[in-house]
């Protein structure tokens, strides 16, 4: 954790998380209105942490048929990070922003409950804190994930939805491209977005300078 992060106050963290939550919800509403978004994962080279070559992309597993919407997520497992975190449904706060998990629950992941269920068609959104004023939080190492690695989501129907990561980016707030962050990468595919704050913590604006966005797609189930 950087010195700037260690010096941040609880109020600063709350402002920060609400700031990116406002951004997230606004872009989500924008994204729901999109139809026929071109299939693309291309973006600025500075934001793409792990770019796949065509040969590497060809070795990734094929996407599986999406599941139904009726089951909600209960836990997210990221084996590479040693993360096993409970998932809670989050709605909107009084400001119209996606309400992130409380700061006193840094190990909890929030799912935007009005959006797709993980494993169902569309992009399901999971958000979590990167840190608090005293310690790392659940998505602190999110930017270290790599394409080909696995994320699992335990659903209320007993199924474990398995996702394969195919894109990891740190997207700066300046010139933020909503289409590449939240627009569907492949129409009809079940996708998962893991989102947290990234970049440096700006003490002047009380916000982070970027967002870490991990994209994964549904590749099967287990029990």
42 part of a folded domain: no
Q: Cβ(90)–Cβ(110) under 8 Å?
A: yes
CA distance 140 to 78: 12
pLDDT at residue 191 in the model = 96
Inside any domain, residue 96: yes
Residue ranges making up the domain that contains 54: 3-37+50-222
86 belongs to a structural domain: yes
DSSP 106-135: TT-EEEETTSPPBTBSEEEEEE--SB-SSS
Please check whether residue 128 lies inside any domain of the structure.
Answer: yes
Q: Does 45 reside within a domain?
A: no
Angle at 79 between CA 76 and CA 83, to 5 degrees: 50
Q: Residue written as tokens 């440096």?
A: 200
How many domains are contained in the chain? 1
CA distances from 35 to 31, 134, 156 (A): 9, 43, 29
The residues, ordered by sequence, that sit 6+ positions from 163 with a Cβ below 8 Å of its Cβ are: 118, 150, 151, 152, 153, 192, 216, 217, 218, 219
Confirm whether 103 is domain-assigned. yes
pLDDT at residue number 73: 97
Tokens of 83: 């993360």
Residues 151 and 163 sit within 8 Å (Cβ to Cβ): yes
Overall residue count recorded for the chain in this entry: 223
The whole-number pLDDT of residue 3 equals 37
**CATH assignment at residue 75:** 2.40.260.10
* CB contact set of 29 (below 8 Å; sequence gap of 6+): none
Within a domain: 44: no
Largest Cα–Cα distance of the chain, in whole Å? 48
Whether the CB-CB separation of 18 and 207 falls below 8 Å is answered with no
- Please indicate, yes or no, if residue 211 is contained in any of the structural domains: yes
Mean pLDDT by 10 residues, the chain (223 residues): 43 46 46 30 43 76 92 97 96 65 91 92 90 88 94 96 93 72 83 87 74 94 83
If one counts every other C-beta atom within 10 angstroms of the C-beta of residue 218, the result is: 24
């Amino acid at each position: 954790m950087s010195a700037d992060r260690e010096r941040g106050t609880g109020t600063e963290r709350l402002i920060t998380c609400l700031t990116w939550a406002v951004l997230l919800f606004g872009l989500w509403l924008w994204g729901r209105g999109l139809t026929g978004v071109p299939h693309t994962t291309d973006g600025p080279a500075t934001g793409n942490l792990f770019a796949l070559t065509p040969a590497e992309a060809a070795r990734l597993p094929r996407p599986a048929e999406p599941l139904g919407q009726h089951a909600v997520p209960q836990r997210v497992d990221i084996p590479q990070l040693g993360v096993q975190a409970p998932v809670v449904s989050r709605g909107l706060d009084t400001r119209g922003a996606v309400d992130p998990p409380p700061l006193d629950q840094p190990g909890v992941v929030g799912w935007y409950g009005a959006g797709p269920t993980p494993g169902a068609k569309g992009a399901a959104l999971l958000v979590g804190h990167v840190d608090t004023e005293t310690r790392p939080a659940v998505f602190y190492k999110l930017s270290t994930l790599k394409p080909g690695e696995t994320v699992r989501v335990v659903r209320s129907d007993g199924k474990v939805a398995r996702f394969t990561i195919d894109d990891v980016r740190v997207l700066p707030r300046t010139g933020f491209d909503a289409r590449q962050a939240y627009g569907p990468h492949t129409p009809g595919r079940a996708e998962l977005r893991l989102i947290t704050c990234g970049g440096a913590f700006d003490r002047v604006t009380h916000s982070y300078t970027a967002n870490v966005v991990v994209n994964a797609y549904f590749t099967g189930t287990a029990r």
